[in-house]
Amino acid sequence: MSENKKEELSQAAKEKAEQAKKAAGEMADKVKNISADDAKKLAQEKLESMKSLDKKSIFKYSGIALASLILLFMMFSSSTITAQEAEDMCHELRKEGLSQAEYVAECEDIKSNVSTTLEEIKSRPSLIEYVLNPSKELQLVVINDSTYKLKLINNQDEEVQLEALKASSGKTDVIKMIKEPSEKVQLAIVNYDAANIQYIENPSYKVQLAAVKNYDASILKYIKNPTEEMHLILLKKDTRYIKKIKNPTEAMRLIVLAQNHYYIKEIENPTAKEQLVVVTKAPEFIEFIKDPTEEAQLIAVKDKAKNIKYIENPTEKVQLAAIDKSYNYLGYIKNPTEKVLEVVREKQIASLKEQKNKHERIAEFKYMPNPLPETQLYMLNLYKTDKNLAYAVVRNTYLDGYRHRYSNYTPSKTNDRKLTDEVAIAALKINPELIKHSIKNPSKKVLAYMESIKK
C-alpha cells in the first residue's frame, strides 16, 4: 500500500471518529432533558444512522464505542439495564474488534448499570455473569442449577462456595472456579483431598498444616517453605522421610529414634537426649554410640552388665555398676580403675571364703574367668601342696564348662592366663612339673627361677 493511500485512510478514520464524538456530544445534551425510555429510543436511532462508520476507527481515535454511547445515555438519564440487555450489549462489543483488555473494560462498565431480578436469573442462570455484585440468594439459585456456573459469579459468597463444594463432593473443576477462598473455604477444600492445596493460590498456615496432617510427604511439593512443625507431623507417619530432610533438627531425629533405633548409626554426634531415647528402649544399642554420656552408659549397663563391653571408655561409676551385678564382668572392662579392681578382688576372695570345703572352693576358683593375682595367691597360699590347683592357676582349662554355667561370658581366644611373676613363682614352688607344660612368655625373673629348679 502506497504512503498516499495510507494517509487517505488515516484521514478518513479521523473524520469518522470526529463524527462519532460530535454525535456523542449531541446525544449527551439531549438526554439531560428527556426520559429514560426516550433516551434509549434516541440512542437506537443514532446507532442506526451511524452504521456506515468504521467502528474500530471510532474506538481507536475517540475512545467511544457504539455500545458505550448507549451506556452514556443510561448514566445521564439515571436508568439501568437488565442482565439480558447487558449480555446483548457485550456481545455487540465482541464485534467491534477490540483487544481483550479493551473488551473487558467496556463490558465491566456496562455491567455496572445492571439491575436484575430473581425471576430473570431463574429463567437463565447464566445471566449472573453480567451482574457485578449478585446477592447470596441469586448465587445459590445459580449453583443449584449447576455447580459449574460458579465460575460465572463475581464476588462469590463464602456460603455459596461451601455449598458448591458440598454439591460437587469437592470436584477439582469446581475448586478451580472458587475465587479468593476464605480460610474456612480453604480448609473445606483440603479436607476433601489434601492435594487440592495445589489449587489454592495463597493457603494460610492453618490450611497447610491441615493438608500435611491428611497426606504423606509428597504433599510438600505444593508447599513453598515447609516448617519444622510440618516435618515433625510427617515423620510421625513415616520415619523414612528423614532422609529427604537436609539438616534435621534434634526434635526431628528424636521422633525417628523413638521408632527406629538403628537411625542412631547415622547420627555422627548424637545429643544426650538422643542417646537416652535409644538406650532406654534398646540398651544394647550403646554399641553404636561413639562417646555415650555416663547416664546412657549406666542405663545400658544396669539393664545388662555385659553391655559394658560395647563402651570404649566406661566411667568408674559405670564399671562399678557392672561389677556390682557380678565380678565376673571384669573381663568386659578394658581399662578398669584401681577402685574397681579392689572391689573385684574383695568379691573374689569373699566368694572363695564362703565355700564350705576345699573341693567347692577349688571348683569355684577354677570357674573364675578373671581371677586377680591376689586371688590366685590366696588360693596358692591356702593349698600349698595341691599340684592340680597350681596347674589350674597357670592354665585355664575349665572355660568350656564355665561357658555353660555363665552364658553371658565370652572368653578370650586363648586359655592362657596372664600371670604376675609372684604368682608364677608361687605356682612353680608347688608344682615344678609346670616347667614341662611351659609358662608362656616368662619374664627374666621367672626364667631365672625355672633355671634354679632344674639345677
| 416, 419, 421, 427 alpha-carbon torsion, rounded to 10° | -80
Determine the pLDDT at residue 111.
86
Cell 492453618 belongs to residue:
206
In a domain, residue 222? The reply is no
Alpha-carbon gap, residue 228 to 338, rounded angstroms: 49
Give the end of a domain, one of 54, 80, 115.
Answer: 115
- At 347 the pLDDT is 94
Tell whether 179 is covered by a domain: no
Nearest 5°: phi and psi at 369? -70, -30
Summarize pLDDT for 358-403 with one digit per residue, the tens. Answer: 999 988 888 888 889 999 999 999 999 888 888 888 765 333 333 3
Measured between its terminal Cα atoms, the distance across the chain in Å is 137
pLDDT, tens only, 395-424? 653 333 333 333 344 444 333 456 788 998
- Of 194, 142, 188, the C-alpha closest to 169 is 188
Cell of residue 26, nine digits: 449531541
- What was the pLDDT predicted at 387? 87
| pLDDT of 192 above 90 | yes
Radius of gyration of the chain (CA): 49
Does the residue 256 lie in any domain?
no
Q: Which three cell numbers, joined as nine digits, stand for 454?
A: 632344674
- For residue range 122-154, what is the model confidence (pLDDT) as tens digits? 999 999 999 989 999 999 999 999 999 999 998
Q: Convert the pLDDT of each residue in 38-86 to its tens digit.
A: 655 666 666 566 555 444 444 443 444 444 555 544 444 445 778 888 8
pLDDT computed for residue 293 by the predictor: 96
Total tally of structural domains belonging to the chain = 2
Task: Report which DSSP code applies to 417.
Answer: P
AA letter at 209: L
* Listed residues 65, 96, 115: the one ending a domain: 115
Residue 66 lies in a domain: yes
The rounded distance, in Å, linking the Cα atoms of 16 and 336 is: 110
| Domain range enclosing 393 | 272-454
Q: Assign 255 a pLDDT band (cuts: 50, 70, 90).
A: very high
**CA pair distance 431, 378, nearest whole angstrom:** 16
Rounded-to-integer distance, Cα 167 and Cα 124, Å: 20
C-alpha cell at 182: 476464605
Q: What is the pLDDT of residue 401?
A: 34
What string of DSSP letters covers 264-333? GGG-SS--HHHHHHHHHH-GGGGGG-SS--HHHHHHHHHH-GGGGGG-SS--HHHHHHHHHH-GGGGGG-
pTM of the model: 0.64
Report if residue 286 sits inside a domain: yes
- Burial category of 344 from C-beta neighbours within 10 Å (exposed 0-12, middle 13-18, buried 19 and up): buried
Q: CA quadruple 156, 162, 163, 164: dihedral positive or negative?
A: positive
Reduced to 3 states (helix: H, G, I; strand: E, B; else coil), residue 171 is coil
User: Which of 66, 97, 115 is the last residue in one of the domains?
Assistant: 115
d(CA 99, CA 72) in angstroms, rounded, equals: 21
| Polymer length in residues for the chain | 455
* In contact, 234 and 259? CB cutoff 8 Å: no
